[in-house]
Structure 1
């Protein structure tokens, strides 16, 4: 199957025009007309993921994070980005990323994580100016109020998060919850204005835990932990639309952050 046939399916769900200006989503290595036979789905392109692709006979890797964000001036194996791109080219493995366009797509990343956590009646937390159905984060409600700490324990079970960093617990129980996968500190105000009692995201800095009011608990579950759902989301998109194309969920896609607890 041609790469373009596969990427067209992904881009019907998450068009590239929805990516942020700083992003580099799309086909990074390979040509649209190249034939590929099996895709490996991962969060990042790493040397371990490339090993897995070779071992499993995958000639296309689809990831959430682009391996290249900034222009490369040389290829001399000086860092992991150069080594991975060099190897992909050498081994004939195409690389495709679906990043902020998948984040902002209706039914995308935050929607998937929220649904996994049992949050319903979802709405976009920060709608795009051009389309209220597109945007970052979601806010919704649980079927019934749950103890705040108990719900954070649920998050750990669902996402595999070893640690959750959180602010002071603002309310003993939560029902209205906001979610933004990845780095979502900039949406804290949106979560507060949406009436959320808990905001689940990642990559919060020290001062982000100092909420200006006592109505919102913020919880940082870890970047990888919040976005690991990308693998299943991409698997569902491809397997439902390309029934004759082989798609494999990576077993070598792992968190680069280690915790000493």
Structure 2
């Protein structure tokens, strides 16, 4: 079996830490470089539920998209929920490695996986990485549909193809508008409206859209918006990343057993729909 240091080197080649945003916290959080790794689990969030799953699975390495300590900490006491994660990992000899914004902009990266889940054909990055001479890395992806669809049908397809969450897909725009081109960005995307408008696409699918940026975006142009759950837009990357590590393991003869967690760690657990606005429009009296 490979040592953790060897597996981490492979992961760093896929998602170099230097390509992460300056504010990000990526890389190895917990783990002995000399320990052997035989089983790896990929997940979006390094929360206790996922760590318990890694323990039950017998994993030696947990790879997550989101950082455990994005803003730093002064304690890893087990009396805190993040400290309990650290204690559980160490007690069970499980390493934790994070690939966040360095995976967002990778080629292939988070938005490539999102586009693949939606059967979209990637044209190029939404925000190209200026350090990539090939022009393939960058944030978000501009995509095309093989066959144009009404917005209503595209939203339905997105809801079916992405992992199920309480939120589902929120939609802004004319349900009958034709969608031929789409910008996608896994995770929070409402900082990208200028780039989306510049791309001239028919629709933008992302997560965490806030009221004012979304309102201004639809007032600015007939751009359709599809707002999915943050976790759901990033989970497809776990399958992509696992396949990449599987290929490396096969090539190097490591014999790793690589798994993807199907545990839903989206924080929202229920959704109560409003009354049908077509029959009772407006706010209550």
Q: TM-score, normalised by structure 1?
A: 0.94
Instruction: Name which of structure 1's ranges 156-165 and 138-147 shifts more when overlaid on structure 2.
Output: 156-165
Aligned partner of residue 75 in structure 2, secondary structure: coil
Among 255, 261, 278, the residue aligned to 1:250: 261
- Contact 1:148 1:171 (C-alpha < 8 Å) held by counterparts: yes
Q: TM-score, normalised by structure 2?
A: 0.86
Matched, 1:238 2:245: yes
- Unmatched 5+ residue regions in structure 1? none
Aligned residues: 261
Q: Which residue pairs with 1:126 in the alignment?
A: 127
Instruction: Name which of structure 1's ranges 164-173 and 2-11 shifts more when overlaid on structure 2.
Output: 164-173
Among 221, 234, 237, the residue aligned to 2:228: 221
Cα–Cα, structure 1 residues 79 and 166, in superposed 2: closer, same or farther, change >3 Å? farther
- Unmatched 5+ residue regions in structure 2? 273-285
Separation in 2, partners of 1:170, 1:196: 16
Structure 1 residue 169: Cα displacement: 2.8
Aligned partner of residue 144 in structure 1, secondary structure: strand
Among 176, 182, 185, the residue aligned to 1:180: 185
Cα–Cα, structure 1 residues 170 and 18, in superposed 2: closer, same or farther, change >3 Å? farther
5 Å-filtered alignment, 1:129-208, equals: 129-131=130-132, 132-159=135-162, 160-161=164-165, 162-169=167-174, 172-208=177-213
- Contact 1:171 1:216 (C-alpha < 8 Å) held by counterparts: no
**Structure 1 runs (4+) greater than 4 angstroms displaced:** none
Matched, 1:259 2:270: yes
Q: Which residue pairs with 1:71 in the alignment?
A: 72
- Contact 2:150 2:175 (C-alpha < 8 Å) held by counterparts: no
Separation in 2, partners of 1:227, 1:200: 12
Aligned partner of residue 124 in structure 1, secondary structure: strand
Structure 1 residue 252: Cα displacement: 3.2
Separation in 2, partners of 1:16, 1:259: 36
Aligned partner of residue 185 in structure 1, secondary structure: coil
Separation in 1, partners of 2:120, 2:108: 13
Aligned partner of residue 186 in structure 1, secondary structure: coil
Aligned partner of residue 191 in structure 2, secondary structure: helix
User: Higher relative contact order at CA 8 Å, sep ≥6: structure 1 or structure 2?
Assistant: 1
